[in-house]
Amino acid sequence: MAETMKFPGWHGTTIIGVKKNGQVAIVGDGQVTLGQTVIKGSARKVRRISPGGFDVVCGFAGSTADAFTLLERLEAKLEASPGQLARASVELAKDWRMDKYLRNLEAMLIVTDGNDLLVITGAGDVLEPEHDIAAIGSGGNFALAAARALDGSDLSAEQVARRALEIAAEICVYTNGNVTVEVIDA
């Protein structure tokens, strides 16, 4: 019987969000890999969207096409519920879980409007992280641990998030130090 080659999948994302002292910073690395090969080192996985003049910062991990589909859907939900990030996120998560097409999307999002910091998953979850720190992707656990250790310092939200991502990049082979940073005030 012939063995079937399984597509190795896309890896290579670390996104971290840190909420501290009235600011939220979301930082993402730029590496995308296919199997053991780095395809791109400068991908931009953190974006600011402004549906109806309402600023939201989003970071995504997973398949790029899937993440862009979700970002477009989130934008539409925010246009329908301006200024209500939590409500729009819950509506997106419901659609994501119930819709046959969306259910197959492989991505996760960290989103913030400066007040709420949320993780949205394809399992229908909208999570508000403990300790005001959220991390997703291949190096997410490394970045989360580093940020939790740095959280009690005098560093700003951006400094904590940047340093945590640097530490993750030193440990996780699917994470690099080419970062995109977006900061939003409460």
Give the domains, in start order, of the chain with CATH numbers: 10-185 (3.60.20.10)
- Please state the rounded mean pLDDT for residues 23-49: 91
Residues 6+ apart with CB under 8 A from 63: 10, 105, 106, 107
Catalytic entry in 4, 13, 14, 112:
13
pTM score, two decimals? 0.89
Cβ atoms of 164 and 20 closer than 8 Å = no
Indicate the average pLDDT of the chain: 88
pLDDT band at 35 (very low <50, low <70, confident <90, very high): confident
How many whole angstroms separate alpha carbon 12 and alpha carbon 48? 21
The pLDDT value given to residue 102: 66
Tens digits of residue pLDDT in 103-160? 667 788 999 999 999 999 877 789 999 999 999 999 999 999 999 999 999 999 999 9
Decide if 162 contacts 145 (C-beta within 8 A). no
The residues with which 89 forms a beta bridge, in sequence order, are none
Q: State the sign of the Cα–Cα–Cα–Cα dihedral 182, 66, 85, 166.
A: negative
13 is catalytic: yes
User: In sequence order, what are the beta bridge partners of 58?
Assistant: 47, 111
